[in-house]
Structure 1
Amino acid sequence: MSTPTALDLASGLGGKIDKSQVLSAVEKYEKYHGLYGGDEDERKANYSDMVNKYYDLVTSFYEFGWGESFHFAHRWKGESLRESIKRHEHFLALQLGLKPGQKVLDVGCGIGGPLREIARFSSTLVTGLNNNEYQIARGKELNHTAGVDKTCDFVKADFMNMPFPDNSFDAVYAIEATCHAPDAYGCYKEIYRVLRPGQCFAAFEWCMTDSFDPHNQEHQKIKAEIEIGDGLPDIRLTEQCLEALKQAGFEVIWEKDLAADSPVPWYLPLDKNHFSLSSFRLTAVGRFITKNMVKALECVGLAPKGSQRVQDFLEKAAEGLVDGGRKEIFTPMYFFLAQKPHSENQ
């Protein structure tokens, strides 16, 4: 598939938000967050609006800089970012033991990069669940281009209230997506409900690690930068995710922070001290060029007013992610594999 150009970025900025309303949407989004006086309770109460605004505003930036799969990956030396992202997705499919013809649910699927890769890798039928209309429309275009529209589809819905009958899927996964849920238990309980007995749920979660100190102001600042830059109501501790899984009824097969022993730091693509031709747009130089390009596009009216503001909070996110990774207080890949018991009485 062709790499998005500057004009693709400009035409997609704002998603389904009317171009004249992008600036006011940015302002409303910012006010949800602690850096602008917002609080956690308000973000949780209005998570659907907040997350939808976020992905309308940032999806074009993500696709322009990151590609179709909006996530980090455990990475080996000598492995490119793109290779590591594909392997990360294949790892998930293998952990779930996917078999040809199975029905699989991708919770919080973005524009469907992992969905398409996992469907092709495992010959499964994958449904992507997403509450953002713009991302679904974009995902359908990409499915058609990739020739997977017969095996991959999308459903627009909230993952806290899924429109599927009980016991609908042979496997469920989430890649850096359920961190947007206002309540981990409520989200995991819905996943438990739609998963068939004896089958598995696997995920990569964004979490604060045991090294995070809630009383440390620098730690709190890093956490707040990640929350505003990535559309998060709150960032849970790994132990909170684990407890929520168990409360939802899952049996945890294994869990681990995969960032802890990644030979190449997961945050390297965003590190200003790192340069890479293969992921140039994510480097400090690439981001500087993008920032000025967006400024120019906004000045001539090709990009809506407010586009630079989106770039600004994405920069905050990058800084927070790198600092959180360096200090080992944050991970984007707390992995777990959990099974729904064969019998509800187990």
Structure 2
Amino acid sequence: MSRTGALHLASGLGGLIGKEQVKSSVEQYEKYHDLHGGEAKSRASNYADVANKYYDLVTSFYEYGWGESFHFANRWEGETLRESIKRYEHFIALQLGLTDGMKVLDVGCGIGGPLREIARFSSASVTGLNNNEYQITRGQELIDLAGLSKRCNFVKGDFMHMPFPDDTFDAAYAIEATCHAPDAVGCYMEIHRVLRPGQPMAFYEWCMTERFDPGNPRHVAAKAEIELGNGLVDIRTTAQCLQAVKDAGFEVISAKDVAEDSAVPWYQPLDPDAGASWTSANGFRLSRVGRLVTHAMVKAMERLGVAPEGSVRVSGLMETAGEGLVKGGREGIFTPMFFVLARKKPNLLTGTENV
């Protein structure tokens, strides 16, 4: 089960980074980003270090606030956040046509919340690819607890250089993960390579929308906050994302910003002005007041030596993430759910196609 207590938050903070190195690690991480004098070119050259430091530092915060699935979801009126997250994951499984016997790749799987839910829902076998050792260790614990070890597994690897042979998987998906890639075309080409001919890929991508104006300082500041608070290199636009899918060799079946169909704003859990709910522990923790309470709690735990030095700065990253996401959502310049369904073209010489 998810670790939702304060002591679990403190003990997990830093992941596999030594507790005495948390402060220096968060300082190094911050220096990659624009708001601390960094630039996108440096982040792209060091994308693996950016993402690994970020997820070692913040995974316990994510699990404390969100649960096991670290992503947003479009919401219907009367639907809880947890219900919407499950439906969101079921939707991608249905779009891919997942069934028993299929071999599926989850690209950038986190601690495997979606992986486990999709495996249970579809009866497919799902392999999670992740380059962060701490998340894999935690995810394997959760797989064992769920009794899914025969259907789910993790592989450590970089999604820019996947450790799989060509034509391995029957389907692939990514949920808010490939936004960490330094080169979208290169990442999508790797997914293309490991898919069997004729087989589908689907993902939800973090993107700047067509409303984003790179000449607007307010827009640029919100984008920089999202990148700093979420371990990103350089957020692509929806148009750039879609073109990258095509350039990687995929045939696009459908593409849509599903946030446009969300009756409840996707950023509502983070924004009291959008009606953030305090009726559950998770709802309160995600709200602005809840985040301030968490920050104060982490500050006290660091002062008492329960949490490592530097923990307050990590908590500050989470607050920056929340503020930037709310700004981007309110202005409609950012979406975490640009959905693309595509497929690798069939091999016309052999007639290889979906089965």
Aligned to 1:286: 290
Quick check: 279-288 or 221-230, which moved more?
279-288
SS at match of 1:196: coil
* Aligned residue number for residue 69 of structure 1: 69
Q: Is the 8 A contact 2:2 2:64 kept in 1?
A: no
1:112: how far off? 0.2
- What SS does the corresponding residue of 1:4 show, helix, strand or coil? coil
Aligned to 2:25: 25
Tell me what 1:117 maps to.
117
1:189-234 CA distance string (max 9 Å, x none): 0000000111100000000000000010000000000000000000
For residue 331 of structure 1, what is the aligned residue in structure 2?
335
The letter of the residue matching 1:48 is A
Secondary structure at the counterpart of residue 68 of structure 1: coil
Q: What are the equivalent positions in structure 2 for 1:253-264 lying under 5 Å apart?
A: 253-264=253-264
What is the CA-CA distance between 1:3 and the residue it aligns to?
Answer: 4.8
In structure 2, the partner of 1:277 is 279
Q: CA deviation at 1:289?
A: 1.7
**1:6 and 2:6 correspond:** yes
Tell me how far 1:292 sits from its aligned partner: 1.1
Give the number of equivalent residue pairs. Answer: 346
Distance in structure 2 (CA, Å) of the matches to 1:55 and 1:101: 32
Letter in 2 for 1:103: K
| Deviation for aligned residue 1:280 | 1.6
3-state SS of the aligned residue for 2:104? strand
Q: Match of 1:43?
A: 43
1:91 equivalent to 2:91? Answer yes
Structure 2 counterpart of 1:112, one-letter code: G
> Any runs of at least 4 consecutive aligned residues in structure 1 with deviations exceeding 4 A, and if so which?
none
Match of 1:299 in 2: 303
SS in 1 for 2:261: coil
CA shift, 1:281, in A, is 1.0
Residue matched to 2:323: 319
In the alignment, the residues of structure 2 paired with residue 114 and residue 310 of structure 1 have an alpha-carbon distance, to the nearest angstrom, of 25
Code of the residue aligned with 2:277 in structure 1: it is F
**2:262 counterpart SS class:** coil
TM-score (norm 2): 0.96
SS of corresponding position for 2:346: coil
Distance in 2, Cα, partners of 1:30 & 1:344? 49
Q: Percent identity?
A: 68
Q: 1:313: Cα distance to partner?
A: 1.4
Letter in 1 for 2:339: F
Q: What SS does structure 1 have at the residue aligned with 2:272?
A: coil
Deviations 1:134-192 (A, max 9, x none): 00000000101111111100000000000100000000000000000000000000000
Amino acid at match of 1:218: R
CA distance 1:2–1:132, shift in 2 (3 Å): closer
Structure 2 counterparts to residues 228-243 of structure 1, below 5 A: 228-243=228-243
The answer to which of 289-298 and 177-186 deviates more is: 289-298
Alpha-carbon separation, structure 2, partners of 1:155 and 1:277? 37
Output aligned runs, 1:201-220, within 5 Å.
201-220=201-220
CA contact (8 A) 2:101 2:125 kept: yes
Residues 2 and 67 in structure 2, CA contact (< 8 A), matched pair in contact too: no
Say whether the 8 Å CA contact 2:2–2:63 is kept in structure 1.
no
Amino acid aligned to 1:309: R
Distance 1:69 1:281 in 2: 15
1:139 aligns to 2:139 (yes or no)? yes
Amino acid at match of 1:5: G
Q: Distance in 2 between matches of 1:79 and 1:315?
A: 25
Give 1:344 deviation, angstroms.
6.6
- Write the letter of the residue equivalent to 1:244: A
Letter paired with 1:340: K
Partners in 2 of 1:261 and 1:60 — Cα distance?
A: 31
Distance 2:246 2:29 in 1: 33
Report the Cα distance in structure 2 between the residues aligned to 1:80 and 1:165, rounded to whole angstroms.
40
- The answer to whether the 8 Å contact 2:3/2:9 transfers is no
Structure 1 gap ranges (5+): none
